[in-house]
Chains A and B, each alone.
Chain A
Amino acid sequence: MDFAGAYTWVNIKFLLEGFGVTLQVAFFAIILSFFIAGAVGTVRYAKVPILSQVFAVLVETIRNLPLLLIILFTFFALPEIGISMEKIPAAIVALTIFEAAMISEIIRSGLNSIDKGQIEAGRSSGLSNFQTLRYIVLPQALRRMVPPLVSQFISLLKDTSLCVIISLPELTHHAQVIYGQNSGYLAPILLFIAFMYFAVNYTLSVISRRLEVKKFNPPGSDSVSRIFPLYS
């Protein structure tokens, strides 16, 4: 093990560059998959005819495939039907497809977890279906969705490392490049990237737990609506 040799400025800079790509890919995949999943989850919750059946089949299919396979497919198979992408967009697309399927289930079950009495109270006061969803169901469901959503986002960030299979220049790939030159660097470099993944993900989970604590204390306190003012 050669810590001094592994932790040169050049190597660390190279790892940080990789981490930048990791964060970039994760960020875009999180945003995209969240919006797609929001639409898919809501359509399935509202049981929109035909569309919700189509989404159900897609979601079930994707959820039961290995993410690694989806990444390989997006980067290596899609070009054969004329859709070729650079590594970063390909990684974002593959992760988005997979995560959107997972997250749509979180959103759908979050919406479904709201007591039917809430909906009846809204509808019987003359609110439309959409208004009931918007003002009554969604704000309550979002609060419940925060913990599972954050843990799914953490999974996504970790899963970007699977993109080594297409040599995406992200953190894990850059680590491989470094210890490929000198096997004495292997353990120090892996330790270093472990720390980086951990630091970001742990921060996210702490934030999520903070939100949860605030959510229950005092009753009705409005932590989520401060983050998502749209849904207050």
Chain B
Amino acid sequence: MINFEKVNKYFGDFHVLKDINLTINKGEVVVVIGPSGSGKSTLLRCINRLETISNGMLTVNNLSVADKKTDINKLRTEIGMVFQHFHLYPHKTVLENITLAPMKVLGQSEEEAKQIARKYLDKVGISEKADSYPAQLSGGQQQRVAIARGLAMNPEIMLFDEPTSALDPEMIGEVLDVMKALALEGMTMVVVTHEMGFAKEVADRIVFMDQGQILEEAIPAEFYENPKEERAQLFLSRILNH
């Protein structure tokens, strides 16, 4: 479903992704971890072309993401994205946040889009906030709206870039619960997160990155109990002991 083949990415002279090879299959949940600055966000953002790759081959549903002939806006409707800082539209209500893209991109009627939006708001557990503005919600609620906004496009893939890193500890659980439910339903997910509980419970695979390279790929139990790479060991000991 998502396939990286010898993908490299430079920011000017800076080699941020080095020879990335990675395949993510339909229905898989892949958790990406690694030290800050190792290229996790960049890797994720290449998948929906928020960043362009410098060379190599990156395909989503067998379509080349970099190819000029690929209709990127159409491809993006298949890929939902959830950001660390939510990025809800502050001038729109929760419902309007969710219905904007389905109406403008998929051409749904307002009626239909609202109905679908309510369904997903229900699913993330905040249907009562439909007419609130983002500023009136807690961080956890905002992030759940952001997830509902992504889901309303009915995507095949959901990307999460540190979705709980900006949240107060007591709100992390509510967001992870929504993500777990989504994973169990079979959504294809690529998640950058250091939440080990989440990774152990629902991830099919852990991808460990350091300095722009994928150093290790393993199933969660194996990775957390017995990391092979020295840098992965070091990294784990750091996040466990802080």
Q: Could you list which residues of chain A lie within 8 angstroms of chain B, going by C-beta atoms?
A: 115, 117-118, 120-128, 131, 135-136, 139-140, 143, 218-220, 222
Contact = CB atoms under 8 A, between A and B. Distances in A.
B104 A131 contact: yes
A111 to B, nearest CB: 14
Given A135-B100, A140-B90, A220-B93, A125 B153 contact: yes
B104 A127 contact: yes
Nearest to A231: B91
B218 interface: no
B81 interface: yes
A126 B105 contact: yes
21 contacts: A117-B83, A118-B87, A120-B81, A121-B81, A121-B89, A122-B89, A123-B76, A124-B48, A124-B50, A125-B76, A125-B80, A125-B153, A126-B76, A126-B77, A131-B105, A135-B104, A136-B100, A143-B91, A219-B133, A220-B91, A220-B93
B89 A118 contact: yes
Interface in B134-165: 134-136, 149-150, 153
Contact of A117 (B87, B106, B150): B87
B102 to A, nearest CB: 9
Contacts of A125: 76-77, 80-81, 100-101, 105, 149-150, 153
Nearest to B88: A121
Contact of B81 (A115, A124, A222): A124
Nearest to A115: B87
Nearest to A116: B87
A131 to B, nearest CB: 5
Nearest to A139: B91
Contacts of A219: 90, 133, 135-136
Given A123-B50, A126-B76, A135-B100, A140 B91 contact: yes
Contacts of B88: 121
Given A117-B85, A123-B50, A127-B105, A220 B74 contact: no
A143 B90 CA distance: 12
Contact of A128 (B73, B93, B106, B153): B73
A220 B104 contact: no
Nearest to A232: B91
Nearest to A128: B73
Contacts of B89: 118, 121-122, 136, 140
A131 B104 CA distance: 8
A125 B77 CA distance: 6
Given A126-B77, A127-B101, A120 B93 contact: no
Nearest to B159: A124
B124 interface: no
B79 interface: yes
Nearest to B77: A126
